[in-house]
Amino acid sequence: MIENLLEKFRKKYNNAPGTERVFFSPGRVNLIGEHTDYNGGYVFPCSLSYGTYLVIQKNDEEHINFISENFTYATSIPLEKLGEKQESEWVNYPLGVIEQLMKKGLSPVGMDLYFSGNIPNGAGLSSSASVELVTAFALNELYKLGLDVIELVKLSQKAENEFVGVNCGIMDQFAVGMGKAEHALFLNCETLEYEHIPAKLKDYKLVISNTNKRRGLADSKYNERRSECDTAVKNLSTVKPIKYLSDLSLDEFTKIAESVKEPVVRRRAHHVISENARVLEATSALRNGDLEKFGELMNESHNSLRDDYEVTGKELDAMVENARRQKGVLGSRMTGAGFGGCTVSLVHKDEIENFRENVGKGYRKDTGLTADFYIAEIGEGTVELGK
């Protein structure tokens, strides 16, 4: 794999073998805990075995070259124009990271960057965070900046918030940077306290089903949901001062919910607070090996995202409904921001082929779209390869 990437890199940049370095950053799937991260709550993701590769090398020029196998757009940006956003292009993710690193003391010189990813684009498996972290990690190593991974996680989130313009929480970057093979990551998004919990799934596998309904965060209703949550916090704070929705338990919220005057905003708050409780139950279930309970919580999570938070849509709902009808399925839910993308299901290993065939047929009948299915192998976080 590495030699193949190096060969492509040298061919694209007409470089002789030399000082190239290769880095990898995974995608992630969130097992439960959706839209809680920017509300100061708990999440429970894991990093995946597929992700984004980056081959990088300094050059003697006064510009940085960007090429990706996954997009036709390639560009060469002069060093003095690194702070200029490109119009709706993938390079804004690494450019945002470079800008943040420059604030930390990076003085970039000319470089050649070659990205290659096997995360489905727009599927909600965090290809953007994967690109950000692989860039941040590579530049931190290349320039010996001495930043730890959590610092790289934080600045990658800032890059997406401030440069790209998507108000994402920190879960994606944290899961991508701090993942551990065969473990799920229990994270408090307010304090950044975290714990790696062994993902002992026994005879079950995580199956990711891609709706192939493309989703774009920046132009979706993601930012609208964040604004609704902010409104709920303001309303609730007139009764009980809080910083985030996740500061409230479900019982506490129930007692003061009427302080949120708009029914729609109240439902948004109910999802976040109930989802936060579900994450705690889910981590306990996984610790105890209670996969049936874990599956029930996955189902409850999707229902809440569908009914209270309204971020699913017909494609995700059709995928989940078809999955739940299959033998050997303990639970199924959307994962990611919603409005398309993927679901994650807990499926008995002996039923995976039937799952693919039956869910694929049912989904195509319901939507006219063809689904793709992946077995989610839980991999490591961001690393340098070939050292």
- SS3 of 335, please? strand
Note if 172 is an active site residue: yes
Compute the distance between CA of residue 150 and CA of residue 173 in angstroms, rounded to an integer: 9
Cβ neighbours of 143 (radius 10 Å): 17
Structure tokens at 194: 């975290």
CB-count exposure of residue 141 (10 Å: 0-12, 13-18, 19+): middle
Distances (CA, A) of 95 to 193, 284, 300, 330: 29, 40, 39, 42
Q: Find all residues with CB under 8 Å of 206, minimum gap 6, and list them.
A: 29, 31, 344, 345, 346, 347, 375, 376, 378
Q: Enumerate the H helices of 56-187 as residue ranges.
A: 92-103, 127-142, 149-158, 171-178
What are the CA-CA distances from residue 134 to residues 25, 116, 234 (Å)?
A: 5, 11, 37
- CA dist 156 and 354 (Å) reads 40
Distance (Å, whole) CA 275 – CA 305: 9
CA angle 198, 46, 380 (to 5 degrees): 85
Q: Biggest alpha carbon distance in the chain?
A: 68
> Burial of 138 by CB count in 10 Å (0-12 exposed, 13-18 middle, 19+ buried)?
buried
CA separation for the pair 245, 169 (Å, rounded): 14
* Spatial distance between the Cα atoms of 25 and 127, rounded to a whole number of angstroms: 9
Which one is catalytic: 37, 112, 172, 247? 172
Instruction: Name the residues annotated as catalytic.
Output: 172
